[in-house]
Structure formats: C-alpha cells, structure tokens
Amino acid sequence: MLLLPAILALTGAWFAMRWYVGDTIAEYTSTPDADGIEMARMATRWAPGDALPHWRLAFFEEKNFSPENLAAAVREYELAVQAEPYDFRYWMELGRALEATGDTTNGEKALRRAVELAPSYSHPRWQYGNLLLRQGRVDDAFAQLSRAAEADEQMQAPVFGLASQVFGDDTDKIVRALPSPSLRLQIALNLIKSGKSDDALRIVRTISRSDRQSNREVTEEMAKSLIDNHQFRAALALLSEIEPDANQLPETGHFWNGGFEMPLALPDPKPFHWMIESRTQAQFTLDDARAHSGRGSLRIVFKSPGKLESIPITQTVIVEPDTQYKFQFYERTEALTSASTPFVVVSDTSGHDKLTSSAPLPSGTTDWQPVTLTFKTMPKQDGILIGFYRNPCDEREPICPIYGTVWYDDFTLQRISGPGSAKPGAPSR
C-alpha cells in the first residue's frame, strides 16, 4: 500500500519535469531556422499538453513560409488552443493562420472567439476587423476597428489610417464608420494638426457639447492646435464649451481683463490672457491704488542696467478679418529714465507684420494720458498680438538702461468698419 503513493508521486514528478523541460526549451528557442524548429518539436514532445511549445513551433513554421509549413502551423495552433481553450492569444493566432491558408470561414470563427474571450482588448478586434475588411464587409469591420481604437490609444493611428484608405477625404463616411465621440475628437485633432481645420470642425459639429466636455483634455488640445494654426475664433468656440468660468474667456473684439480688474496669474497658461513673465529688470504687478478707472491697473517697475529690448507681456486678441479698428489705452509714468522708453505694438499673431504702434512713453513723471490708434486687420486674419517693446539705443549708449515705473489701464477695441456694425469698445472680462 505504501508503494502506490510513491509511484504516483514519481509519476507526477516525471510529468512535471517533462512539462518544465518542454516549456523551457520552447521559451528559449528563438530562431526559426532548422535547428530552432527541431528544438521546438522536441519541446512539443516533452510537453504535448502545454500550449506554449505548440505556439512556438507554429510561429517558427510560419516564418519558413510555404503551403506545407502554413498547414503545419495551423495544426500546432489548434493544439495550443486545445491545451489553453480560454486564452484569446492562441485563438487569435489560429484565426490569422487559418485566413493565411485561405480558410477564411474558420479563421473568422477563431478570431470571433478571441474577441469573445477578451472583449476589452484591442488586438483581437484589430485582427478580426482587418479580416472582415479584406472580405469587403466594411461596416462590420469598422464596428470592430473602432472598438479596438477606443480600447487602446496606440491603435488609433492605424485605425484612422485604414479609414482614410477606405473612405479617402469623405469625412461624413469616416464619422459614420467611427461613431464614438472620443474617436471623432481624435480624428478632428489629427486633421487640425495636418492643416485640414475645416474638415476637423465639420466633425466637431457632429459631437454633442456634453461629449466634448467629457473629453476635456482632447478638446483643449484641439483648441491649442487651432490657436497654433491661427484659427482663434474656432478655438474660442471650443473653449467656451469646456471652461466653467465664462469670465476666463474673452469676447471677439475685446481684450481679456483689459481694465485689470481681475487677478493676474504669472505665468498664466490660459490662451487669450495676458502672457506675462515678471523678472528682476521688469517687475509686473496689479496696482489697486492707481487706476485710470475701476479698481486696478498694470504697474511695471523697470530696474534694468543693461539691454531690455522686449518687454515680456503680450495678449492675443480675437478680431474680425479685413476690419478697421480703433485701439485705445491709457498710460502713466513716474521717474521714468531711459534713452529708449517702451511703446505698444499691434501686429499679426506671428509678431512679424506690424499693423500699428504707439509713440514711446515720455520720460519723467506724467499723469494718465490716452493713446488712440487705428489699424485694419488683414483678410482671413482673426487674431492680433499686442506687445510691448523698446527701440535699441544709439551707438553712443549701447547698454541702454531703463529705470522707473509705468502704468497701463483700460485697453479697448472699437470696430470702425468691416463685417457687422460698429460697437463701442469697453474693458473686456
């Protein structure tokens, strides 16, 4: 009686050792040459009930492409599936190999089973969708491919590429094939980045406001890409749907916080706000004791013993294209000393084409003075850049220091002529 347990233990140990050896051989056999295939076959003999050796041998057989090797690979994949019937990976490989032999019916069944076993994984749906697409079943294919792209961001680019190959530039068909709002937003983002903003915005209009809000990060990235492409009104329209505080956004034709009534963030990450970089040579603060109107103004304290050609403050303002504007603001100085004092420039958003500029500030101490300028925006231009600069000093004073304090307040725009009726400017939010 004591002999039977010992025999059973030895038998179990023998089979365990065979499985271990076979599995180890399969795992470390890595080259699909004749020696590698023979080693993989040895692994299947040592561990015939283990899926890994059969999968490895099938993989090697496929690498040595021929009809006979493909058939042998299918047999090994079938044995792997029998050994591990609930592992989607073996079903996926079996389906792919069956299709390669021309057996698309059973290949589809195997891939469908892989999807059933791993419905949340992207690769089974990718393989299944591609098989369906090769069969001409476009709607069924993209039902799987869209799910693959939803499950895995890495799959989005390949799926979008397939959609472009199948549907070309027909965005309506692409939208129907990929109905998920998150995927549509990603497609729109890709189109914006490739310079096809009009197509992108058509797709965006098919997505509900709530879906855009729930995909806030993508929507913000789209807005940033639109800004980079100088499509400011479209960017503002997107941002208005996800920004919980409407006071953080400007209106077209108005400065944001042009009267400096709201706090300034240094630096401020929000587009269309004042972009300010305070530094030792030019220190920016709000001054609630000296305002032209309202509660506050912008104060800049200059303490620069050397060159300071650009003053780090700008704002992008959304405007109407091909339109005449009146631009007004107020300025004040105290003990301003320099051979080159600051002035304000209105330019295109690249900063290269100047539309108008103010005269340099007077030296010394002056009370609030209005500055009024006019300019016309260029066709297709819906944004301008407000910047602050200094001219270089002459050769006799190459260092060009600047000291003193200046204030700015009440930046306004008024449309004089162009699309729509003129409206009086006012300090914007």
CA 9 centroid distance within chain: 60
Contact 192, 200 (CB under 8 A): yes
Give the pLDDT of residue 218. 87
Tell me the CATH class for 12-246: mainly alpha
Give the pLDDT of residue 2. 46
Evaluate whether the domain defined by 275-417 bears CATH number 3.40.462.40: no
Q: Which residues of the chain register pLDDT less than 50?
A: 1-4, 6-28, 30, 33, 421-429
Mapped onto helix, strand or coil, the DSSP state of residue 304 is strand
Q: Based on the number of CB atoms within 10 Å of its own CB, is 74 exposed (0-12), middle (13-18) or buried (19 or more)?
A: buried
Mapped onto helix, strand or coil, the DSSP state of residue 287 is strand
- Nearest to 197, CA basis, from 175, 178, 223, 163: 223
Give the pLDDT of residue 45. 59
Which residue, chain included where needed, has tokens 């650009």?
310
H or E stretch including 167?
A: helix 156-167
Give the pLDDT of residue 14. 38
- Nearest to 198, CA basis, from 162, 231, 156, 160: 231
Give the pLDDT of residue 37. 58
Mapped onto helix, strand or coil, the DSSP state of residue 371 is strand
Q: Which residues, in sequence order, are bridge partners of residue 378?
A: none
Give the pLDDT of residue 107. 93
Please state the pTM of the whole predicted model.
0.70
- For 121, 188, 286, 287, 373, the CA distances from 370, given in Å and listed in that order, are 65, 44, 19, 18, 10
Tokens coding 73: 């690979």
Give the pLDDT of residue 294. 93
Mapped onto helix, strand or coil, the DSSP state of residue 219 is helix
Give the pLDDT of residue 342. 95
Give the pLDDT of residue 66. 66
H or E stretch including 289?
A: none
Q: Based on the number of CB atoms within 10 Å of its own CB, is 138 exposed (0-12), middle (13-18) or buried (19 or more)?
A: middle
12-246 and 275-417, same CATH topology? no
- Residues 128-181 have pLDDT tens digits of 999 999 999 999 999 999 999 999 989 988 998 899 899 988 888 988 898 888
Distance CA 164, CA 162 (A): 5
Query: β-strands 282-287, 324-338: how paired?
Result: unpaired
Domain boundaries, the chain: 12-246, 275-417
Q: Where are the alpha helices (DSSP H) in 180-318?
A: 181-193, 197-204, 209-214, 216-228, 232-242
